[in-house]
Amino acid sequence: MKRLLLTIALLLVASPAFAACPSPLTGLDAARNVQNFGVTVDGSGNCYGNVALVDGTNAANKATVNASGQLYVTIPSGAAPDLTTINASINSDVPDVTGPLNAGAAVATKMLVGGGQYLASLPTMTNTQQISHLMDINGRLLTGTRTFVSSGSQQNNLAIGTNTQLTVPAGTVCAQITHEVASVRRTSDTTSASAANGTLIPAGAQYQDCGPLAAYKYTAVSGSPTVTVEYFK
């Protein structure tokens, strides 16, 4: 036992300083073939083995570390990463990065944070395009606001008889509707309106409507009611 300890002590004393870089630094691969490792020397002259994670069937698939210590995975164009493995790794961390939904509960020690983008001029999007959340100059989330304009000719004093329908201009989103003279009933589900069937709307009612305008059917309850409709987009 004393002889073994003495041998180990001599080996430790005789070990070269870490700054000395062996050349080459080698190891055995899975087939037990000798392979050379890269060697990196830092600003203090310390030597490090530079071992890459490389796909055994395609050397272009590899993981590297940049100067900031961030890990990057290089995948050739057209190849797909193993999303099952990636998702499994992410899902295993979910309890650590998500917080409770109930009010007043303590937040998680780690959280996933979303961000947005400030643009001096708002972009004009086209079909299938996407964009990040937009912020104002103070970092507040921009919400959807819009100014409505006329979408076409309005209908003035339209006489309501039986199942009278509106002439809705293309592109219309909402309408300002005014009922006069007498009450009417209205349906919006393609069924017919009658003096007893449909939503009762009294004379003098005024409201903004963003429903299925072209599907509305109006029927007079009594008298000769009229409706005036302004259309907006």
Query: Would the pLDDT of 59 be above 90?
Result: no
C-alpha to C-alpha distance for 99 and 93, rounded to whole angstroms: 12
CA quadruple 3, 9, 10, 12: dihedral positive or negative? positive
Q: How far is CA 84 from CA 59, 76, 87, 132, in A?
A: 21, 18, 5, 26
CATH annotation of 155-232: 2.60.120
CA quadruple 171, 174, 176, 181: dihedral positive or negative? positive
| pTM, full prediction | 0.45
CA quadruple 147, 152, 153, 155: dihedral positive or negative? negative
Cis preceding-peptide flag for 24 (omega within 30 of 0)? yes
pLDDT value at residue 13 = 37
Least confident among 1-5, 188-192, 212-216: 1-5
Q: Helices in the chain by DSSP H: which ranges?
A: 2-14, 83-92, 94-97
Q: Strands 117-118, 134-135: parallel, antiparallel or unpaired by DSSP?
A: parallel
Query: Would the pLDDT of 75 be above 80?
Result: no
Boundaries of every domain in the chain: 155-232
Percent of the chain at pLDDT > 90 equals 36
Higher-confidence residue: 202 or 24?
202
pLDDT value at residue 92 = 52
pLDDT value at residue 144 = 72
Structure tokens at 155: 């209908």
Higher-confidence residue: 71 or 233?
233
Query: Would the pLDDT of 84 be above 70?
Result: no
Bridge partners of 117, per DSSP, are 134
Q: How confident is the model at residue 116 (pLDDT cuts 50, 70, 90)?
A: confident
Query: Would the pLDDT of 203 be above 50?
Result: yes
Task: Evaluate whether 191 touches 149 at the Cβ level (below 8 Å).
Answer: no
pLDDT tens per residue across span 155-167: 999 999 999 999 9
pLDDT value at residue 2 = 38
DSSP type of residue 213: G
pLDDT value at residue 112 = 63
- What single string gives the DSSP state of each residue in 95-147? HHH----STTPPPPSS------EE-SS-----TT---PPEE-TTSPBPP----
Q: Give the chain's mean pLDDT.
A: 75
pLDDT value at residue 120 = 86
Higher-confidence residue: 137 or 74?
137
Q: How far is CA 167 from CA 146, 152, 214, in A?
A: 24, 10, 7
Q: Choose from 5-14, 31-40, 97-106 the range with maximum mean pLDDT.
A: 31-40
